[in-house]
Structure 1
Amino acid sequence: MTAGLPGALRLARIALTTADPEALATFYREVLGFTHAEAPPVSDFSAVTGLDGARARVVPLRLGDQRLDLVAVTPAGRPYPGDVPGFSPLFQHCAIIVSDMEAAHARLSAHPGWRPISTNGPVRLPASSGGVTAFKFRDPEGHPLEFLAFPPESMPETWRRPGATDPCLGLDHSAISVAETARSAAFYESLGLRVASRSLNRGPEQASLDAVAAPTVEVTGLGFPDGQPPHIELLCYRGDLPRPASDLAVNDVAATRLVVAMTDSDALAAACATHAGRLVSRGVVPRPGGVDALLRDPDGHLVWLTAG
């Protein structure tokens, strides 16, 4: 690693905590088009999470080129805490790019167990908010998800998949709710991400999408050096809204983890030293072939750093 430079390479995968990963995997495969993936590196889960005696059972999945791990933690934590609104610090969703919103929504609608967040089905956002068609919902355990469809004429090259047989193409980003854009952007920039986009989303379409009355949302896209998905988005809802401090434990179902691959162990150790007050793990934890550590961002979201 070049001296003095942050070391984030990419968002290697997103890890959802789940009470029943095998059952939830069935939903993700049958309804969202995910397939089985190779197992992630074996880590000392107890040492990385700081939970004495904790163990993890992982069902690894893939959608296109992106990874999603469904992780059952023993001992188990709390279930997802109801219909957490988008402005809550507990809120974090995964956005799935779809080539055909009607087909993706129809397949979802035919399957039991999920719940809508959006109030009137898929909604086309105005050009000022990206011009995409979007729909938010919750999986059977409560994790928020989003379908995103670009207009054909503005589909990014990354998502042009001629001949694709499944409407769900891949994971575009994970969006996290934050109290202050500048504070959170500074944290992620210190890891090596860069601000790639900004928009101010509001109006009746956004209200229908989020099920939030009269929202005004600062949306900040944070990209990795390779420019490939998935990226991270910061959602900062303006106004005097209730934002209780996050009290999520690592084994709670709502405790989603962003797994960020770092250039090497030195970069990971430097990030941990910079954010020593946010360290959840018992220092930098070695494993065969690499190291891991766990941080909390300024709003309590979990960031798992890995190298090797």
Structure 2
Amino acid sequence: MSALGGARRLARIALNATDPERLAVFYRAALGFRDAEAIGAGPARVVPLRLGDQRLDLVAAPDGRPYPGEVPGFSPLFQHCAIIVADMAAAHARLSAHPGWRPISTDGPVRLPAASGGVTAFKFRDPEGHPLEFLAFPPDAIPEAWRRPRAAGPCLGLDHSAISVADTARSVAFYESLGLSVVSRSLNTGPEQARLDAVLAPTVEVTGLGFPDGRPPHVELLCYRGDHPRPVSDLAVGDVAATRLVIAMVDSEALAAACATHAGRLVPAGSTSQPATGGAALLRDPDGHFVMLTPG
């Protein structure tokens, strides 16, 4: 459905922050992000950052609700950014040298079994509460996109943004209609996953959704099986937890077609002071996560 949906790539991920300039200091010092060129215009303050080839915007949300505590992975509010690291020990040590963050994983970095990808991972929260993840691939299983000369620090770039969903099939159908396609599936469980997520006995359907250009970052769906509480998301666009996937469509016609298909999911213009490039549209996915579509 990629050719029909019109999605081109995940242009950037936007995180709200009560103080984006202060949060940017942490991202630069602890994670190796660098300043990037601003895109578009709008009334809100934006600190544009880059890690490798991937973009992350920190958007001012001074009047929004703060991140709501220790949101678990199965909550519909949960959405994290995964950072590829060349050296997990070095990345963890650099992070540990800076204050303000707090761990999600209960016992440091954890090596997942082969059935769950065999990666070494560590989840934590930035100083404003946004979940983040370090990922290190096994030396013999590094994807082509991450086989490149080492960067100045251990953190190489953004691999994906993972969102918690209640129904994998429903969410796959939504994102396929935009032009993404399923590129991977796994069922993650066991004590390693429990330590990584700080969730008791988790069984997680992990579905990777890629873009036509095949470049990172991509999107991952996390569907926790079992009787977990999943309240309907009540996030407003200006809340700190209201992370946005910014998807570049091939052109304005593709964007208009996506808006027509999902007219009931559009966030009305004027309901937020968040910045947008000309002609952009904001949608809520089936679980309430925000998706911004931009032309070209």
TM-score (norm 2): 0.95
RMSD of Structure 2 on Structure 1 (CA): 1.5
Give yes or no for the alignment of 1:267 onto 2:254.
Answer: yes
- Gap change, CA 1:163 and 1:258, over 3 Å in 2: closer
* C-alpha displacement of 1:156: 1.2
How far does the alpha carbon of each residue in 1:59-111 deviate from its partner, in whole angstroms, 9 at most, with x for none? 0000000000000035x110000000000000000000000000000111111
- Gap change, CA 1:165 and 1:242, over 3 Å in 2: same
Counterpart in the other structure of 1:226: 213
Counterpart in the other structure of 2:52: 64
Distance across 1 between alignment mates of 2:104 and 2:276: 41
Q: Determine which of 235, 238, 241 is the counterpart of 2:222.
A: 235
Work out whether residues 52 and 157 of structure 2, in 8 Å CA contact, stay in contact via their aligned partners in 1: yes
Give yes or no for the alignment of 1:41 onto 2:29.
Answer: no
Work out whether residues 265 and 290 of structure 1, in 8 Å CA contact, stay in contact via their aligned partners in 2: no
Counterpart in the other structure of 1:100: 87
Q: Does the residue aligned with 2:4 lie in a helix, a strand or coil?
A: coil
* C-alpha displacement of 1:282: 2.8
Work out whether residues 10 and 247 of structure 2, in 8 Å CA contact, stay in contact via their aligned partners in 1: yes
Work out whether residues 76 and 288 of structure 2, in 8 Å CA contact, stay in contact via their aligned partners in 1: yes
Distance across 2 between alignment mates of 1:18 and 1:288: 16
Give yes or no for the alignment of 1:292 onto 2:291.
Answer: no
Work out whether residues 233 and 287 of structure 2, in 8 Å CA contact, stay in contact via their aligned partners in 1: yes
- Gap change, CA 1:297 and 1:241, over 3 Å in 2: same
Q: Does the residue aligned with 1:5 lie in a helix, a strand or coil?
A: helix
Could you list the structure 1 runs, at least 4 aligned residues long, displaced by more than 4 angstroms after superposition: 287-290
How far does the alpha carbon of each residue in 1:197-250 deviate from its partner, in whole angstroms, 9 at most, with x for none? 000000000000000000000000000001100000000000000001000000
- Gap change, CA 1:292 and 1:110, over 3 Å in 2: same
How far does the alpha carbon of each residue in 1:103-154 deviate from its partner, in whole angstroms, 9 at most, with x for none? 0001111111000000000000000000000000000000000000001111
Give the length in aligned residue pairs: 290
Name stretches of at least 5 consecutive residues in structure 1 with no aligned partner.
44-54
Distance across 1 between alignment mates of 2:134 and 2:148: 17
Q: Which amino acid aligns with 2:250?
A: T
Distance across 2 between alignment mates of 1:282 and 1:289: 13
Q: Which amino acid aligns with 1:243?
A: R
- Gap change, CA 1:289 and 1:83, over 3 Å in 2: closer
TM-score (norm 1): 0.92
Counterpart in the other structure of 2:124: 137
* C-alpha displacement of 1:289: 8.2
Distance across 2 between alignment mates of 1:33 and 1:63: 7
Q: Which amino acid aligns with 1:161?
A: R
Q: Does the residue aligned with 2:92 lie in a helix, a strand or coil?
A: helix
Q: Which amino acid aligns with 1:306?
A: T
Q: Which amino acid aligns with 2:45?
A: R
Matched ranges for 1:3-82 at <5 A:
5-43=4-42, 55-73=43-61, 76-82=63-69
Distance across 1 between alignment mates of 2:205 and 2:84: 21
Give yes or no for the alignment of 1:194 onto 2:181.
Answer: yes
- Gap change, CA 1:162 and 1:247, over 3 Å in 2: same
Q: Does the residue aligned with 1:291 lie in a helix, a strand or coil?
A: coil
Give yes or no for the alignment of 1:156 onto 2:143.
Answer: yes
Distance across 2 between alignment mates of 1:236 and 1:289: 32
Give yes or no for the alignment of 1:117 onto 2:104.
Answer: yes
- Gap change, CA 1:42 and 1:126, over 3 Å in 2: same
Q: Does the residue aligned with 2:239 lie in a helix, a strand or coil?
A: coil
Q: Does the residue aligned with 2:44 lie in a helix, a strand or coil?
A: strand
* C-alpha displacement of 1:25: 0.2
Percent of aligned pairs with the same residue? 80
Give yes or no for the alignment of 1:255 onto 2:242.
Answer: yes
Work out whether residues 163 and 220 of structure 2, in 8 Å CA contact, stay in contact via their aligned partners in 1: yes
